[in-house]
Chain A
């Protein structure tokens, strides 16, 4: 029964979404209070039915209802209950349902937390989001219905992909989708703003916390995906520039540009059209990402069941959403005011530069991802664009960002002097270079990548701290939330940079042959294999290698990597053993048994500072959330003090 209830729930959600996309919009055009007032109720109703549909699918999984095709394909009797629950979003259909649930959740939040926003505006925002809802619900119902039945159902289901039977996979999709879908809010604000033609500063201020929150979730989602790939795929890599990763990274880069351009538009009224354009682009890139991952248009290590029909649907949807939005932009944008003027050296210019680099980076990733398509389209054969391209280009484009970033927060709005900005940072720069060299001497590393990573990292962290200290000193009330957020995020970039540079420069990796009783020395560690035992899990059995690791005389870890065989699907999988540490990870992955000798091929990694990569990303995301929670975004009226507060430590001129 639950599948049918879910189906009905989904249809009812669609009906409400359809009403939501029409009625409040008409209400807003005709200034009809009653129709506008419907928006929050419809959003709530939609969410309730989406939650109902989601619960119905979860119930089908928990109850082993294998007559539901989706359940039969992605679950079985041996699968533990928690993975049955997360199997709900383990594949295409269910993950779309999760996507919709989260979109419904964002709409609920907009309805609940927009008291300070005029009703007419909220009505338009929710209505635009309702349109997005309609598209996705139609997509689910017509091409990707998770509630379809097979009768009679099989006695047992297949299996959830073993790679997904993992804690990282429980949280990765929800966080990632929170980000993707969250950009729908910024999008809806921009569209509502274009329709209403209201003073831009207001709606940009209202949309800032939403954009920041969505961007923060996307940051967490990407970081979690990277962490998951690191320990679950068994290659020890943390970023592969695979199309599916790029699909999430492009919206992130655009989102990063957006949160910065929103700051200018809100504070100074400058670049309003550009901010609108980025709001549209961020969500459009989320849609494009969905298309790339789910249509099979590109070859990725991670692809959903490929179905060109689904791809076509998403493209049609994109054509309506993005095409419609950009048409509206072309019609309305000329009317947007242009704000106040600024000089060469000013916060406005600095943020403009930030936007140039981030949008060009996004364009670069998009170009590289789609280039095989372009080549094919032109009939020039086949090529692959991989990590060597993206890595080189990204470093090229981001180096100026790293160098200039600490200057940004120190720069005053409107007009500033170069020396005035540089002066307080000269000490920071000197300290960070000296400190970096000391650290490198201590670590005994003089590779270009490591040294520049440390200098850049310290420069970013030092710059962020210098800003925080100066601002705190100058203001009686200390740092405001958005300033805290910025400091944390910028320092996080530094932490990330150090981690990435160290891992790329100094990862130790060795494939060895080892038999029980043998010891292998590698990079100052002694790895002893004691035995290879047979172990059993709920739905798998495995060969488990029992290692102890010594440094000097001291045993520092016992590690048990496994090679698992999953019963149902028959897939084998490497379960790596990790000994995480602040300064290095030890990482062991099992290969094959080599002949009948009892020896195994084993890969050892020692990854210096690898945790800093995700630590930095978490700081960046936290910074976003803290900034989003700043109360000033929810104040009814712009306060004059805002502009001076945000210009950093400077007292109003």
Chain B
């Protein structure tokens, strides 16, 4: 077996798991054990940082829960190459993200866009915090009267 077989095989291991569930206990992302290491030649430090940031924010679709930066799956390698090519082609970060979303959906974004369907996600904690603080004020006012 060649190394690149491993990663792509990872998804079918997902299928195997259905049949052989008990055999694959504690399945830490097998495809990922060897981490993703490629020496890209960047034009600038800025480009290097943009690459890193993008690779960390894009999700590897084959993997269990890993970013492109962390995954050793062959598809992740291809996608990193693609990101690198697009960076060299002077595409913006947003264009690169859109490229991925057009092909794999919002699923690939680890930073979900703020939209109607993510309102609860982004706004929920803020609303909860406000509720919590208001509740605290109410409680303290009540307890003050017991002084």
Contacts and interface: CB of A to CB of B under 8 A. Distances in A.
Contacts of B106: 381-384
B145 to A, nearest CB: 7
Nearest to B109: A384
Interface residues on A, range: 35 or more
B64 interface: yes
A603 interface: yes
Given A341-B147, A367-B121, A512-B39, A73 B30 contact: no
A74 interface: yes
A571 B26 CA distance: 14
B46 interface: no
| Among A234, A380, A509, A603, residue most surrounded by chain B Cβ atoms (within 10 Å) | A234
A356 B129 contact: yes
Contact of A341 (B22, B24, B121, B144): B144
A363 B6 contact: no
A92 B26 CA distance: 7
A154 B61 CA distance: 36
A367 B26 contact: no
Contacts of B64: 299-303
Given A356-B132, A374-B120, A383 B109 contact: yes
Nearest to A307: B21
Nearest to B22: A305
Interface stretch (A18-26, A98-106, A342-350, A629-637): A342-350
Given A363-B125, A397-B125, A233 B132 contact: no
Contact of A375 (B57, B117, B128): B117
B34 to A, nearest CB: 5
A352 B35 contact: no
| Among A90, A348, A352, residue most surrounded by chain B Cβ atoms (within 10 Å) | A352
A589 B36 CA distance: 10
B56 A387 contact: yes
Interface stretch (A33-41, A156-164, A186-194): A156-164
A599 to B, nearest CB: 9
B66 A301 contact: yes
Contacts of B28: 161, 163-164, 301-302
Interface stretch (A235-243, A445-453, A481-489): A235-243
Contacts of A307: 21
Interface of B: 1, 3, 6, 17, 21-30, 32-40, 52, 56-57, 59, 63-67, 69-70, 105-112, 117-118, 120-122, 124-125, 128-129, 132-133, 135-136, 139-140, 143-147
23 contacts: A92-B26, A233-B33, A234-B34, A301-B29, A303-B27, A304-B27, A338-B143, A338-B146, A341-B146, A342-B143, A343-B140, A352-B136, A356-B136, A363-B128, A380-B117, A382-B107, A383-B117, A384-B109, A387-B110, A389-B121, A511-B39, A591-B34, A592-B37
Given A341-B144, A342-B143, A603-B35, 7 more contacts: A164-B28, A305-B25, A305-B27, A356-B129, A389-B110, A396-B125, A572-B6
The 10 A-B pairs of least Cβ separation, nearest first, read A386-B110, A591-B37, A341-B146, A388-B111, A91-B25, A356-B132, A341-B147, A364-B125, A305-B25, A234-B35
